[in-house]
Amino acid sequence: MMTSPSPPATCANLVLGDERAARRIADLLAESFDADSAAVAVFETAPGRWDLSVYFTQPPDEDAVRGVIALAAGEASAAAVRFSAVAEQDWIRTSLEGLPPVTAGRFVVHGAHDRARVAPNQLGIEIEAALAFGTGHHGTTLGCLVLLDRHLRAHRPFRVLDLGAGTGVLAMAAARTLRRKVLASDIDRRATLTARDNARLNGVGPLVECVCAPGFTAPALRARAPFDLVLANILALPLQRLAAPMARHLAPNAVVILSGLLPAHANGVIAAYRAQGLSLMRRIERDGWTSLMMRRGTPARSQPHAS
């Protein structure tokens, strides 16, 4: 297990009346600051009132924080941010205490404090508070879980890869459903260790093999190919660059689930994978982010637009 991080020096707080704007700001802030130095939390504290907080381990560049918020929601929101010192505490646990469990099909992503709220017919995936990022509250992870649940209700892929695994949520979901080994890779060694710890926490340590590797260069990936299912929750440009190498490591009729895409970027990713012989099966949006399910070859029943 990882130990609790050092206490923060500063909290940036913003209150908004628009859920979509609050989540858009939270997503952009989470992408703009290193996960080891900042944690972002957004809660509905009253009907129509959204409280956005960013906890920093060191005093941040306030102008930079306001600049990110201005990009997401305008200068008025940026000017409304308030910075304050935060007393010593387990700050990531505090930031997660108000997060409800996230349900995506049969999967429920939750913290330890909500363990008892997972129903017997659901598959719970617990994320330790000290390993807070990638909890399923982000629309990209949620979209992937929804598509994964739909796919696994009808298919049992044998070779599964979670590429860019982060906290390992997708790998754990696949391993818990299939009860077979899943390969999880990430370019960040700390993320690899996080995914390994989370897999052990969820009782699937022996089923989730975690490796640190960029793309498909690692011997472990080459040895396990061709893959029947690839999960890749990254970003649009890396996904486009990975289209050709990924296609070379896919089995016939393999399925890929792709996310980390703003709606405006989705068509470019679809085109890149179509050029490698994959067809679009489903496209869904969650919290302003697009997730795609594509299949190598032409699927018998294509459903490119889904809610």
Edge-to-edge strands, sheet with 160-163: 208-212, 182-186, 160-163, 227-233, 250-261, 289-296, 278-286
Identity of the highest mean pLDDT range in 81-95, 151-165, 283-297:
151-165
Q: Over the stretch 82-94, which tens digit does the pLDDT of each residue have?
A: 998 765 455 455 5
- Alpha-carbon distance values, 46 to 1, 18, 101 (Å): 35, 12, 18
Contact criterion met (CB below 8 Å) for 144 and 233: yes
Q: Over the stretch 177-207, which tens digit does the pLDDT of each residue have?
A: 999 999 999 988 888 888 899 999 999 999 9
CA 6 from chain centre, in angstroms, equals 24
Residue spans of the domains in the chain: they are 10-96, 133-296
What pLDDT is attached to residue 256? Answer: 98
As a whole-number percent, the residues of the chain with pLDDT over 90 amount to: 38
Q: Who has greater pLDDT, 88 or 156?
A: 156
Q: Hey, which residues does 14 pair with through a beta bridge?
A: 52
Domain range 133-296, CATH architecture:
3-Layer(aba) Sandwich (3.40)
Q: Which numeric CATH code is attached to 10-96?
A: 3.30.70
Tell me whether domains 10-96 and 133-296 share a fold. Answer: no
The model's confidence at residue 281, banded by pLDDT at 50, 70 and 90, is very high
Contact criterion met (CB below 8 Å) for 6 and 57: yes
Identity of the highest mean pLDDT range in 22-26, 108-112, 172-176, 211-215:
172-176
Q: What is the 3-state secondary structure (H, E, C) of 141-158?
A: HHHHHHHHHHHHHHCCCC
pTM beyond 0.85, yes or no? no
Contact criterion met (CB below 8 Å) for 72 and 85: no
